[in-house]
Amino acid sequence: MISNHELRARQSAKVIRALLEADAWKAVLYLSPTEVARATRRYYASNRKPDAKRVEVLVSIGRPNFLEREFVRDCQKAGETFPIAKIQLKFRKYAKKQQ
């Protein structure tokens, strides 16, 4: 039987892998209506693109935030079952250079 720590480690690895492969800003895995696993790429200071040498990722497993709760409600209305197989990705919008 898989322990709770192993399960969380697998969920974290799955979310981090999706985040890095897609070069996204945020990846969210919906485990149940009251629990999500999310990985967020850390950016500092300006709108510059991320450094290729270093990647910082913040992983959190817990209750969904407001936008994620809205998504959960929409999924439940549509008849989706949990855990939702696809990982939801969000991408960062870069500021356009002014000329």
Task: Give the domain extent around 50.
Answer: 4-90
pLDDT band for 52, please (50, 70, 90 cuts): low
Q: Can you tell me which residue has the tokens 């450094």?
A: 51
Tell me what the pLDDT averaged over the chain comes to: 86
> For residue 33, what are its two tokens?
């209506």
Please say whether the beta carbons of 51 and 91 come within 8 A: no
Q: Read off the pLDDT of residues 33-42 as tens digits, 9 standing for 90 and up.
A: 999 999 998 8
- Between CA 80 and CA 8 the distance in angstroms is 22
Q: Read off the pLDDT of residues 18-38 as tens digits, 9 standing for 90 and up.
A: 999 998 999 999 999 999 999
Q: Answer yes or no: is 95 within a domain.
A: no
Flag whether the pTM goes above 0.85: no
Domains in the chain, number? 1
- Between CA 41 and CA 24 the distance in angstroms is 8
Q: Answer yes or no: is 57 within a domain.
A: yes
